[in-house]
Amino acid sequence: MFRFADPLLLFLLSLVPLLTAWHLKSKTRSVSLRYSHLGTVKNSVKSRRPVHRHILFGLRLLAVIFFIFALARPQSGSREEEVTTEGIDIILTLDISSSMLAEDFKPKNRLEVAKIVAADFVKSRSSDRIGMVVFARESYTQCPLTLDYGVLLSFIENVRIGLIEDGTAIGLALANAANRLRESKAKSKVIILLTDGRNNAGEIHPLTAAQAAEALNIKIYTVGAGSRGTALYPVQDPVFGKRYVRMPVEIDEKLLQEVAQQTKGRYFRAVDRSSLEEVFAEIGRLEKTKIEVKEYTRYEELFPFYLILGLIFLGMETILARTVFQKIP
């Protein structure tokens, strides 16, 4: 960045054309010298120095211009930013029971679509610590809270059904996620729970886990994933191989609503991929990271450079005027 600290002094540059006009006018005046005998003068060669005397004025004019620039205090600035972020700690809690194989979230099953949407959600964050808990009959931490989104995305990619014995332990999953956030110092702590079934395993009731989360100042967003009515599930038939059967979609929406309300969160229902993407987008809007940016500009004074240039041109004009272009008194 470049600027003049006192730009009003640049109006002095308007004197430059006035000085130029005065100089040219003064050079057109006729002058005369008296000689006792003109013979010597007539035989002399005409000098080119009168033409070159404009050089002296040009040097003086350049000196004046650079002095004016120096008075206006030219400055070079570099901009710096101070960024203060207030991040959020988020635990993604993902159901990996066999019911997540249902193919009502085209073009893939529920789990694969949930992984894609969760990965996009992670990529949309910038300064939040995010971790992941997976659950079926048991629950375990797939990835602890981290700012290394590359590692987290790799863990999301490797999630698959069959890692844990089948079942749906919602309460145990919430307790595990809350435990991961227990010692968090973040101002906002969030659990995003995605499931497509009912709590049928684990020794901790979901509402008990929600109460514990509330005590730790943790907000829970619950997401019920599954179409309404029935959905196609793939099954392996020993005779005919893979085939599909229609099974009812059983999501305990009342329980998920109570869990969210207990912690001042919200419950969402996603019936397909687009609605699931909208759910995560809405959660992203609700949980915004606070970022403050302060800009500073440091300026360096450049007037010594212009002052030195002015002195150089003034010195050249003085030297030439007293030597090469010296005038007869």
DSSP secondary structure of 114-161: HHHHHHHHHHH-SS-EEEEEEESSSEEEEEEEES-HHHHHHHHHH--T
Q: What is the pLDDT of residue 81?
A: 61
Q: What's the pLDDT at 224?
A: 97
| pLDDT band (50, 70, 90) for residue 40 | low
Q: What per-residue confidence (pLDDT) applies to 302?
A: 86
Report the pLDDT value the prediction gives residue 76, as an integer from 0 to 100: 85
49-53, 91-95, 269-273: which has the minimum mean pLDDT?
Answer: 49-53
Query: Are 250 and 281 contained in the same domain?
Result: yes
Does residue 328 lie in a domain region? no
State which of 27-36, 190-199, 239-248, 308-317 shows the largest mean pLDDT: 190-199
Give the single-character DSSP code of 13: G
Check whether residue 158 and residue 204 sit in a common domain. Answer: yes
Tokens at 215, concatenated:
């005590």
For residues 52 and 143, state if they share a domain: no
Burial class (CB in 10 A: 0-12, 13-18, 19+), 235: middle
User: 317 is in which domain, residue-wise?
Assistant: 2-24+47-79+296-322
Is there a single domain that holds both residue 140 and residue 234? yes
Domain count across the chain: 2
Examine the domain organization and report whether 159 and 54 are in the same domain.
Answer: no
274 and 308: one domain? no
User: Which region among 31-35, 70-74, 325-329 has the lowest average model confidence (pLDDT)?
Assistant: 31-35
Same domain, 69 and 102: no
Residue 300 has pLDDT above 90, yes or no: no
Residue 260 in any domain: the answer is yes
- Give the mean model confidence (pLDDT) for residues 96-114: 93
Residue whose C-alpha is closest to residue 95's, from 16, 13, 182, 172: 172
pLDDT surpassing 70 at residue 196 = yes
**Mean pLDDT score across all residues of the chain:** 87
Q: What CATH number is given to the structural domain containing 129? A: 3.40.50.410
User: What DSSP designation does 63 have?
Assistant: H
- Give the pLDDT band (50/70/90) at residue 43: low
Please report, as a single letter, which amino acid is at residue 95: D
Sign of CA dihedral 233, 234, 235, 240: positive
Q: Which residue has the higher pLDDT, 107 or 162?
A: 162
In the chain, what percentage of residues exceed pLDDT 70?
86
Flag whether 183 is in a domain: yes
Higher pLDDT: 127 or 215? It is 215
Q: What is the mean pLDDT of residues 253-273?
A: 96
Identify the band that residue 213 occupies on the pLDDT scale cut at 50, 70 and 90.
Answer: very high
Res 192 pLDDT > 80: yes
Give me the mean pLDDT over the 39-55 stretch.
59
pLDDT above 90 coverage of the chain, percent? 54
Could you tell me the pTM of the whole model? 0.65
How would residue 35 be classed by pLDDT, with cut points 50, 70 and 90? Answer: low
The reported pLDDT for the residue numbered 47 is 54
Residues 74 and 168 in one domain: no
Give yes or no for residue 50 having a pLDDT over 60: no
